[in-house]
Amino acid sequence: MRKLKVKPDLILQTMRSHDQYNTTLYGLDDRYRGVYGMREVLFANEDDIRRLGYEPGQKVDIVSLWDDGRERRVSGFTLIAYDIPTGQSAAYYPETNPLVPLESYGDRTYTPTSKFIAIRLEPAAASNLIQSVGV
């Protein structure tokens, strides 16, 4: 892993859902993981969710950590407690493709490192805005 100035909250792997073939989406359901009607979700170990100060079901923004001065962020993802090793997380692509730096690729394969993305979580900006106006 590339040396970072900031310690990541989690390592993210991107994945497909049940109703998906490569980047073609046929539905919003993932019967393998019990997710229905949505795709902007972040699967994480419940201990990690609580360690980071969040609750399952809370909305977060995901920020990719890469030392090139660019911010890579996706917003409004719902945290789902899942049986996944601590320190790891998973989310669907192509929704998380913006988090993968083009300069981050395998040493010999030259394929994007979409299975090993250092990330940090922030409270969802949209949720904070709604709360601040009293809605």
pLDDT at 91 over 90: yes
Give me the DSSP letters along 72-114: EEEEEEEEEE-S--TTEEEEETTTTGGGS-TT-B-TTT--B-T
Q: Which amino acid is at 80?
A: I
The topology (CATH level 3) of 10-132 is Barwin-like endoglucanases (2.40.40)
Query: In whole angstroms, what is the distance from residue 97 CA to residue 112 CA?
Result: 10
**Where does the pLDDT of residue 132 fall: very low under 50, low under 70, confident under 90, or very high at 90 and above?**
very low
Q: What is the pTM of this model?
A: 0.84
- Which of 10-14, 83-87, 91-95 is least confident? 91-95
CA distance 23 to 4: 30
User: What span, in angstroms and rounded, lies between the C-alpha atoms of 123 and 22?
Assistant: 29
Q: Can you tell me the distance from the alpha carbon of 3 to that of 6, in angstroms, rounded to the nearest whole number?
A: 9
Chain position carrying tokens 């900031």: 6
Say which residue the tokens 């913006």 belong to: 98
Q: Which of 84, 87, 77 is nearest to 117 (CA)?
A: 87
Please, what's the largest Cα pairwise distance for the chain? 52
pLDDT in tens, 94-108: 899 999 988 887 888
Could you count the other beta carbons within 10 Å of the beta carbon of residue 87?
14
pLDDT digits (tens, 9 = 90+) for 1-55: 566 778 999 999 998 787 776 777 777 888 888 889 889 999 999 999 999 999 9
